[in-house]
Amino acid sequence: MTDEPYRWLEAVANRREYIRDQLKGATPVFAFSRPEGILLCGVGSGQSKVFEIYDRHALAALGHPVDIEKIRQSLIEAAHLEGFTRAPEDVTVRRLLNFSLGPALKGAFEQVFAAPLIVEGIFAELGAGPEQDILARFSFDGTHRFERGGIAVSHPVPEKEAPATAWLRQHLTEKSSLTDVVEAALAAWQVLSTGAGAFPEAISITPPDLAGRVVEVGLLERIGHGRARYRPLDPATVVRHA
């Protein structure tokens, strides 16, 4: 009986390694706090990676499509329940992370005899201005961190996120257009997805090789009519070479 805690720790460590291995084939997603709003971008094989959650909230995720759909539905239900029982203004990323998404992911991860949720990503909340926007990077084990500087990257190998974020900050300014932002994200995506090594000194005008994948872009608009601010964008309208 005395070795049971150690067996559980070993099982959790093996589970973490298994999930990381399953995520290897996933491609990164990005979120950017801009004057126009929060832009989320992903490149997938046809399965959605960018989603509306509630009035001022959206999600960009990578992982198993079924598990992404599970947490999407869970977040939508939690957000609408929170908005109904309290007020729409009380629906916040912090509350949903602490009382819905975080516990669900942690519970699934630590139940070593049940299937885990193979999903990671970025949860975004639109504020009155970029300085009030919230971007939270969440992991499959229920942990999360709030990203500073208006850019968030979620990659299957977390160690690659910081270099990508730094490169994007170097090449984007407040005056960058949404087209500039999406093309920078695609350039970063290509480096991260192909393992091409160092990031280029400048963003190439050559279209990235998407290998048959689909670009998906969503915008939480800062200025809009009504409560709902999410708008899916046609890549052809924001990418010069789409």
pLDDT 10s digits, 164-195 = 999 999 999 999 999 999 999 999 998 998 77
Check: CB of residue 188 under 8 Å from CB of residue 172: no
How many other C-beta atoms can be found within 10 angstroms of the C-beta atom of residue 30? 30
Task: Please tell me the predicted confidence (pLDDT) of residue 241.
Answer: 59
CA torsion 234→239→240→242, rounded to 10°?
-70
Return the pLDDT at 237. 87
Whether 208 contacts 187, CB under 8 Å? yes
**Average confidence (pLDDT) over 190-208:** 76
Q: 134-138 and 119-125 as β-strands: parallel, antiparallel, unpaired?
A: antiparallel
Query: Given strand 134-138, what is the order of strands in its sheet?
Result: 50-54, 57-63, 119-125, 134-138, 144-146
Q: What is the pTM of this model?
A: 0.92
* Second CATH level (architecture) for the domain 47-231: 4-Layer Sandwich (3.60)
Extract the runs of DSSP E, i.e. beta strands, from the chain.
Answer: 29-34, 37-44, 50-54, 57-63, 119-125, 134-138, 144-146, 151-154, 214-221, 230-233
For 61-112, write each residue's pLDDT tens digit: 999 999 999 999 999 999 999 999 998 889 999 999 999 999 999 999 998 8
| The predicted structure's pLDDT at residue 1 | 45
Residue 199 tokens, joined: 């990031």
